[in-house]
Amino acid sequence: MIAGELNLHHGLWDSHTPSTTGGEDLSSTLIDMDFELANDPAQATRITNRNVSFPDVAAYRVLRVTHWTFAPYMDSDHCLISYSVGMDDGAPRLANTLPRREKATFALRKADWPAFTSLCETLLAAASTCLEIRSGILRAAERHIPRGSRDSPKQSGRTKWNKPSPPPKQHTKHTRRLARRQPASSRIHPKSGGLKSNITP
């Protein structure tokens, strides 16, 4: 859960104030990590004689935030924020949710790994923050690792890990061939689990 008077502005939770760099970074992080927004975008959390704004943010992923409310605070132009927190029980999500990014698989076999490594080294050499490191890796991946759609096997770069399993009949024939090649003393008895011997007592 992320909540607080962050003083960051973005259109997802503040339509009255231009987006800031920090707000852009926070919104990208929330979307990438599948957070949902608890704020009511119609309710300002800072009200002055000149303008209104939404510097307070409440977002959640595992813990579920409900009953988000605000109330004026006599000693400040910031409102008091309150909400209930509980584990997600599978109930319908709040209507005010962050947009989901469509995730496509990387076609790793088609990647240009030398070019990817070279670009990563160049971009990360000048990176000084976690966000810059993340941005550099993603930039190199987008440029040198093609993506495919999950809905189209031809574009997704199918590998041995996601190939469809052969029919059960083929498994049975293969198993029988292996069993015929092995000596009887090395076969496992199906009921007792012990070694089946061909020696008669």
- Residues 29 and 55 both lie in one domain: yes
- Residues 80 and 23 both lie in one domain: yes
- Residues 15 and 82 both lie in one domain: yes
Cα(100)–Cα(135) distance, integer angstroms = 19
Q: What is the pTM of this model?
A: 0.35
Written as one letter, the residue type at 123 is L
Percent of the chain with pLDDT over 70: 42
Close Cβ partners of 59 (under 8 Å, ≥ 6 residues apart): 1, 2, 3, 30, 35, 36, 37, 38, 98
C-alpha angle with apex 100: 69 to 113, nearest 5 degrees?
140
- Residues 72 and 139 both lie in one domain: no
- Residues 82 and 119 both lie in one domain: no
Cα(113)–Cα(19) distance, integer angstroms = 36
Provide the number of structural domains found in the chain.
2
pLDDT in tens, 149-193: 544 444 444 444 445 555 555 545 555 565 566 555 544 554 544
pLDDT of residue 114: 93
Closest CA to 188 of 201, 174, 175, 169: 175
- Residues 62 and 136 both lie in one domain: no
- Residues 32 and 83 both lie in one domain: yes
Torsion of CA 29, 32, 38, 40, to 10 degrees: 80
pLDDT of residue 90: 47
**Domain, as residue range, for 78:** 2-87
pLDDT in tens, 96-151: 445 555 556 677 888 899 999 999 999 888 888 877 888 888 888 888 988 765 44
Close Cβ partners of 85 (under 8 Å, ≥ 6 residues apart): 1, 60, 63, 64, 65, 66
Close Cβ partners of 156 (under 8 Å, ≥ 6 residues apart): 104, 105, 107, 148, 149, 150, 162
**Length of the chain in terms of residues written:** 201
pLDDT of residue 116: 92
114 within domain boundaries: yes
Mean pLDDT computed over 74-79: 58
Percent of the chain with pLDDT over 90: 5
Mean pLDDT computed over 15-40: 79
Q: Quick one: pLDDT band at residue 201, thresholds 50, 70, 90?
A: very low
Say if residues 145 and 116 touch (Cβ distance below 8 Å). Answer: yes
CATH number at residue 36: 3.60.10.10
Largest Cα–Cα separation, the chain: 101
Coil vs helix vs strand at 172: helix
